[in-house]
């Protein structure tokens, strides 16, 4: 028997792959990309042009009153002449911050829906009453009831929302949370201050919406066909909604002065278009 020695060929060495940028040959996709680039450019330019500059000057007719934290110590029902049913609640509270921290104050409140369950241990907000004018016969208490202090319950609600979102959505939940925080910052740092400076509320809202969209959509969908479709579809919807709203506001002669708050705002700050 003849033994044949088969020569084993050496394994082929893979050549390094050359990465090349392949231009998409679809004219529709290229057109959508151009539209998206124009949208992003207009949004950035609008943000720079409309960004609030400097400190906002408040009208002298608007008085800003800061509330103080307090804890209810006692609530007693007594007769009074200011209430329709002749009964009032006299509240004794301990101040938790401010120059009178640790002191006690008492004031009367008229029972209305939402205040009937005011009891000892509740956290509330109070405001300091200005001193009475010279010759006044009615003596006001040092502090008056403003509202319930909801900061702690809202903080626990926010923490629970974040924990639930991260536990169920994980990475997607984290990206959605980042987009939510970015959207809130745009509203607080750009939209509201810009409107108070006198810029067009429509322009500020539209620019802010486009900026939110450019941030949140890539976080939710990534960068691809879905993101492009979502970007342009949302932008078209926003433009259509703003156009219809503006047109019918003029056609129906809507003034925006349909509440006491709107009338007060229009009287104290003429730069804001209601």
Residues 126 and 178 in one domain: no
CA 41 vs. chain centroid, Å, equals: 25
Phi-psi region of 222 (alpha: psi -120 to 50; beta: other; left: phi over 0): left
Q: Which pLDDT score is estimated for 90?
A: 85
Q: What is the DSSP letter of 274?
A: -
Domain of residue 116: give its range: 68-147
* pTM for this predicted structure: 0.67
Residues 79 and 94 in one domain: yes
Position 128 in a domain:
yes
Q: In which element (H, E) is residue 69 found? A: strand 68-79
Q: How far, in Å, are 51, 67, 159, 243, 249 from residue 45 at the CA level?
A: 10, 39, 36, 21, 27
Q: Which pLDDT score is estimated for 19?
A: 41
Positions of the chain with pLDDT under 50: 1, 5-6, 17-21
List the alpha helices (DSSP H) in the chain: 27-50, 151-169, 171-186, 192-196, 201-221, 225-251, 260-268
Domain boundary residue, one of 113, 147, 181: 147
Residues 142 and 161 in one domain: no
Q: In which element (H, E) is residue 146 found? A: strand 143-148
Position 106 in a domain:
yes
Q: What is the DSSP letter of 142?
A: S
* CATH number for position 116: 2.40.50
Residues 168 and 261 in one domain: yes
Q: Which pLDDT score is estimated for 207?
A: 92
Position 43 in a domain:
no
Q: What is the DSSP letter of 199?
A: -
Residues 136 and 187 in one domain: no
Residues 163 and 180 in one domain: yes
DSSP string, 24-41: ---HHHHHHHHHHHHHHH
178, HSE (Cβ side, Cα atoms, 13 Å): 14
Residues 105 and 160 in one domain: no
Domain boundary residue, one of 128, 147, 166: 147
Residues 159 and 260 in one domain: yes
155, HSE (Cβ side, Cα atoms, 13 Å): 4
Residues 234 and 175 in one domain: yes
Q: Which pLDDT score is estimated for 21?
A: 40
Q: What is the DSSP letter of 131?
A: P
Domain boundary residue, one of 147, 171, 198: 147
Query: How does strand 87-95 pair with strand 104-109?
Result: antiparallel
DSSP string, 78-128: EE-SSSTTSEEEEEEEEE-SSTTTT-EEEEEE---TTTTT--TT-EEEEEE
Residues 76 and 95 in one domain: yes
CA angle 214, 219, 220 (to 5 degrees): 105
Residues 167 and 115 in one domain: no
* C-alpha torsion 232→237→239→244, nearest 10: 160
Position 120 in a domain:
yes
Q: Which pLDDT score is estimated for 214?
A: 87
Position 29 in a domain:
no
Among 155, 73, 86, CA closest to 120: 73
Position 212 in a domain:
yes
Residues 109 and 166 in one domain: no
Domains of the chain: total? 2
């Amino acid at each position: 028997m003849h033994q044949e020695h088969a020569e084993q060929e050496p394994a082929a060495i893979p050549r390094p792959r050359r990465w090349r940028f392949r231009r998409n040959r679809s004219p529709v996709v290229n057109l959508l990309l151009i539209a998206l680039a124009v949208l992003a450019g207009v949004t950035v330019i609008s943000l720079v042009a409309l960004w609030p500059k400097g400190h906002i000057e408040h009208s002298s007719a608007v008085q800003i009153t800061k509330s103080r934290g307090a804890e209810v110590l006692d609530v007693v029902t007594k007769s009074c002449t200011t209430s329709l049913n002749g009964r009032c609640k006299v509240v004794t509270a301990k101040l938790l911050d401010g120059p009178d921290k640790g002191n006690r104050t008492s004031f009367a409140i008229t029972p209305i829906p939402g205040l009937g369950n005011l009891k000892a241990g509740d956290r509330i907000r109070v405001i300091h009453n200005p001193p009475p004018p010279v010759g006044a016969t009615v003596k006001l208490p040092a502090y008056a009831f403003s509202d319930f202090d909801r900061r702690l319950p809202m903080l626990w609600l926010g923490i629970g929302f974040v924990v639930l979102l991260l536990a169920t959505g994980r990475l997607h939940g984290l990206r959605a949370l980042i987009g939510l925080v970015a959207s809130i910052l745009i509203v607080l740092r750009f939209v509201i201050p810009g409107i108070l400076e006198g810029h067009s509320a429509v322009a500020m809202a539209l620019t802010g919406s486009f900026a939110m969209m450019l941030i949140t959509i890539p976080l939710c969908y990534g960068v691809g066909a879905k993101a492009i479709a979502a970007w342009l579809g949302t932008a078209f919807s926003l433009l259509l909604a703003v156009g219809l709203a503006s047109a019918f506001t003029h056609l129906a002669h809507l003034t925006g002065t349909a509440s006491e708050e709107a009338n007060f705002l229009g009287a104290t700050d003429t730069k804001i278009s209601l």
